Structure 1
């Protein structure tokens, strides 16, 4: 089978959709090496070089011209004799030639519909149009969680039989235990506290960092935050200054995957009270890292966290505070939960993700639909 991918996110995005795209191609190419995988984009970048070095993965430059991704990429895949085209970020090309090709699209979330205040009117309209077009064209839709599947059915009016849930994995860096020396190097480089709680992700309103800060206000617990800043950081910093907490909350950006894995392993607790996630990859990263997790009891996060993470109402600071203090003060409870979390997270191992993805592709040729 020859499978073509929209490579825009693979080559251009450093995190989020970029990581999803690179991990997806990597696990497929590694665990199903008999197939051929094509990455289509205007140009290639240094991102994903190790994946492109695999003998069954090839870069295909798309035809030049305006709107080539929308109007030419699909035909380019057909001209390469691809059996399947997979749009990795909620979009599919708009134009195709008569040559048969199966179409798959991954939809990660519909946040712009559930929380419209985070998006401009124009962005909401564009996103909705693109997602509706992709859902209509696709032979199969991949949802990254049961929550996203429910949202697709509700908001896009897609029949359930057309949707497969395939969970994400995470970068291999989080699946290996760092040595004491490796952790010490990272701890020294970033001047990390002896003990701390950790939050990872873009610093934006939906991720709810301000409530994490509020939850530790009357304690001495240090907080390490790793993520890209947005204007929301201004609200957080204003609160830190008002409560004289600047020395206790540490912000970092541009951290490598290996360094981030070491930071997860150094942390006592990972705290992630996001109000909405399509899946919640940082929760999986924490579980693979052997770090106790506190996250929201909403949307897809219980799917990611499993039965032994602690769950909170993301809007209830008192609830969050109580659970942070409970785990902070109870090492045996942290250890118990991390041990069970490591067993739970095996469902997101590469082999399982690859098999589920390949199952979706193969189903397209085993049906009379």
Structure 2
């Protein structure tokens, strides 16, 4: 894969692009858009999925443009290999591999490649880019490290704050992935709200098509999934609040199990202790390293999706659940109402009794299930990829104008 990508880098540029003009005059030519590719080229979840999905949909919807992904290294994985097979998406490996390349030296590569606009996909843009003709956009996913500093190491928190605050001040445009994140940027960094545009995220298109029954049965057998289960997806860390679901499960109909998919952190020990205390070991299934291709099927077979996180920048797992026609119960207090819409159910992230009652009300009421599935699927269309992609390209054009 790396050799193939390096060959792509060496391809001759289109003659129409061999010009050094930037800004408005460049709009009559094919755009060259650069991206911070650290996550797109190396991460298989979270920000990696966000980065690849965003670029891939732009490349498909606006094929006349060139999308250059800058990263000092690339991970060999099916998702990443497939991403870089797109004809108008190119991996750009640095000539200078200095450890500050991503922060400073990438600007030289952007200028050399005649990039007109650079999009920092996760909280930062290169220093000094504002002193070049290159326009810049930065995506801010959340400021949880400021809202809940206790979840982060001091040095990490300070580094995140320094990079994101600097990027917000220097970028030509800020994209917030929710209204809640926009409010946090204004509150913590004092940024004029007119500089910030809310562009929601979508999820991978594989969640938007129902799997055939035989595929679902194969997935169920592969992971020994029960007939009836409640689903939770996300890193097992204190902010995601899995212990609340465990406490609620004690009051949920006993013929329903809990399936949890996510990477374990030190918080997992607290969850285990709670499971032991409540004698629920036989009712909870933990799955790790699930192939991404199987994940939509696991969603589609769930009875309810539960996401009681204390705080999120948006909540992609909720979008995945709604596209999978699964009723959602989430927590109040951040942006999850934006992701889940008016027909999902929201509870306090500190109230296990309320969570249990909400889950039971859905399980006991088939007509409510039908309503939540239908209205949830209708609501989630506002996050559909073509619409989100159009909003993003409109943002680029406004920055270049």
Q: Report TM bin, short chain.
A: over 0.9
On the 8 A contact 1:9/1:17 being kept in 2, the answer is yes
Q: Secondary structure at the match of 1:308?
A: coil
Instruction: Identify the residue that residue 349 of structure 1 maps to in structure 2.
Output: 384
Given candidates 146, 158, 162, the residue that maps to 1:125 is 158
* Pairing 1:55–2:87 present: yes
Q: Structure 2 matches for 1:138-157, cutoff 5 A? A: 138-157=171-190
Aligned pair in 2 of structure 1 residues 97, 103: CA closer, same or farther (>3 Å)? closer
Cα separation, 1, equivalents of 2:150 and 2:240: 14
Cα separation, 2, equivalents of 1:49 and 1:355: 25
Per the TM alignment, residue 321 of structure 1 is displaced from its structure 2 partner at its CA by 1.0
Given candidates 272, 276, 281, the residue that maps to 2:311 is 276
* Pairing 1:34–2:60 present: no
* Pairing 1:8–2:41 present: no
Given candidates 271, 283, 307, the residue that maps to 1:248 is 283
On the 8 A contact 1:90/1:108 being kept in 2, the answer is yes
Cα separation, 2, equivalents of 1:108 and 1:65: 27
List alignment gaps of at least 5 residues for structure 2.
1-30
Deviations 1:155-213 (A, max 9, x none): 01110111010100101111110010111011111111110100000011111110011
Q: Structure 2 matches for 1:1-369, cutoff 5 A? A: 1-46=31-76, 47-62=79-94, 63-96=96-129, 99-219=132-252, 220=254, 221-366=256-401
On the 8 A contact 2:139/2:176 being kept in 1, the answer is yes
Cα separation, 1, equivalents of 2:168 and 2:131: 20
CA RMSD of aligned residues (A): 1.2
Per the TM alignment, residue 365 of structure 1 is displaced from its structure 2 partner at its CA by 2.2
Cα separation, 2, equivalents of 1:161 and 1:260: 38
On the 8 A contact 2:251/2:356 being kept in 1, the answer is no
On the 8 A contact 2:130/2:170 being kept in 1, the answer is no
Q: Secondary structure at the match of 2:87?
A: coil
On the 8 A contact 2:137/2:172 being kept in 1, the answer is yes
On the 8 A contact 1:225/1:252 being kept in 2, the answer is yes
Give the number of equivalent residue pairs. 366
Cα separation, 2, equivalents of 1:127 and 1:43: 22
Cα separation, 2, equivalents of 1:261 and 1:110: 28
Cα separation, 2, equivalents of 1:30 and 1:364: 21
Per the TM alignment, residue 244 of structure 1 is displaced from its structure 2 partner at its CA by 1.4
Deviations 1:86-143 (A, max 9, x none): 1011011114495400011000000000001001111111111111111111000000
Cα separation, 1, equivalents of 2:107 and 2:211: 42
List alignment gaps of at least 5 residues for structure 1.
none
Cα separation, 1, equivalents of 2:71 and 2:186: 30
On the 8 A contact 1:269/1:294 being kept in 2, the answer is yes
Cα separation, 2, equivalents of 1:147 and 1:280: 12
Cα separation, 2, equivalents of 1:98 and 1:249: 55
Q: Would you identify which runs of 4 or more consecutive aligned residues in structure 1 move more than 3 Å?
A: 95-99
Aligned pair in 2 of structure 1 residues 96, 138: CA closer, same or farther (>3 Å)? closer
Q: Secondary structure at the match of 1:12?
A: coil
What TM-score do you get using the length of structure 1 for normalisation?
0.97
Cα separation, 1, equivalents of 2:285 and 2:356: 19
Q: Secondary structure at the match of 1:72?
A: helix
Cα separation, 2, equivalents of 1:49 and 1:157: 40
Cα separation, 1, equivalents of 2:81 and 2:389: 20
Cα separation, 2, equivalents of 1:80 and 1:98: 17
Per the TM alignment, residue 14 of structure 1 is displaced from its structure 2 partner at its CA by 1.4
